[in-house]
Amino acid sequence: MKFFVDTADIDAIRELNDLGMVDGVTTNPSLIKKSGRDIMEVTKEICDLVDGPVSAEVTATDAETMIAEGRKLAEIADNIAVKVPLTWDGLKACKVLADEGKMVNVTLCFSANQALLAAKAGATFISPFIGRLDDLNVDGLELIADIREIYDNYGFETQILAASIRTANHMSECAKIGADVATAPPAVIKGMANHVLTDKGLAAFVADIEAAGIKIL
Ligand code: G3P
């Protein structure tokens, strides 16, 4: 499973990228707002930092302007994936931009029907939002499994980019289901390393090292 980092924080991306943990980056208007930076400048900096796809979201809601914005975003770098919302206008923009050879990430997906439409519109990535379904006591991971089944039934090439990931459990469950990509905040990715028994076991090793005076250097 590919790991994308869901942030516009350059330092956080760099830290994980140096560890080889970054296969791509996703941003959205809320993450750009949080960065406090100009969308074009911060997106360019991210594209220069990572080799994989970098999702940058349009601001318009009508197809014509989404297409114009998507073309401008795609000029930033070859690894730009234009992000459009899963609306009828977004699907129209997806089709036009995908036919022009641009990567398109269709976002704000909350149903298997929406994911079917995005695949037929030529989306490179579909972004089903797990956490926001969980917030409604709907099983977000079940949506990932449904889309995986449907896409595999018909050989759709659209990649499932699991999004709105809130926990380390979401990451491992998405990997078990077979999501192509999971995009998560840096803290969630780093949190995947945590386990209380690891901490307990290491503390016991450190105590024995000190008690026995074990030295390597
Ligand atoms: O990529 C989508 C993600 O940023 C949304 O996450 O936690 O706001 O639902 P969240």
Q: In the chain, where are the structural domains located?
A: 2-192
Instruction: Calculate how far, in angstroms, residue 185's C-alpha sits from the geometric centre of ligand 1.
Output: 8
Vertex 47: Cα angle to 187 and 192 (nearest 5): 20
Q: Which class is domain 2-192?
A: alpha beta
Q: What is the pTM of this model?
A: 0.96
Residues 105-110, mean pLDDT to the nearest whole number: 98
Ligand 1 near 4 CB (within 6 A): no
pLDDT at res. 147: 99
Mean pLDDT on 165-185: 98
Nearest CA-CA partner of 158 in 130, 183, 126: 126
What is the DSSP track for 4-31? Answer: EEE---HHHHHHHHHTT--SEEE--HHH
Site of tokens 């209380």: 196
Bridge partners of residue 84, in order along the sequence: 106
Q: What is the structure's pLDDT at 134?
A: 98
Per-residue pLDDT band at 10 (split at 50, 70, 90): very high
Q: Which of 57, 86, 129 to mutate to test the pocket of ligand 1 (most atoms within 8 A of CB)?
A: 129
The tens digit of pLDDT for each residue in 119-150 reads: 999 999 999 999 999 999 999 999 999 999 99
pLDDT of amino acid 52 = 98
Tell me what pLDDT residue 47 has: 98
Maximum pairwise Cα distance, the chain: 72
Nearest protein Cα to ligand 1, atom 6: 164
Q: Beta strand 54-57 with 125-128: parallel, antiparallel or unpaired?
A: unpaired
Q: Which of 47, 43, 44, 82 is nearest to 65 (CA)?
A: 82
pLDDT band at residue 190 using 50, 70 and 90 as cut-offs:
very high
Mean pLDDT of 159-179: 98
Q: How many CB atoms lie within 10 A of CB 164?
A: 22
Q: Which of these, 149, 186, 202, 193, lies nearest to 27 by C-alpha position?
A: 186
Q: Which of 77, 75, 70, 48 shows the shortest CA–CA distance to 123?
A: 70
The answer to whether 139 and 133 are in contact (CB under 8 A) is: yes
Mean pLDDT of 82-109: 98
Take atom 4 of ligand 1 and give the residue whose Cα is closest: 164
Q: Is 83 a catalytic residue?
A: yes
Average pLDDT, the chain: 98
At 211, the pLDDT band (50, 70, 90 cuts) reads: very high
Residue pair 182/6 in contact (Cβ under 8 Å)? The answer is no
User: Of 72, 83, 92, 95, which is the active-site residue?
Assistant: 83
Q: What is the pLDDT of residues 26-45, one digit of tens each?
A: 999 999 999 999 999 999 99
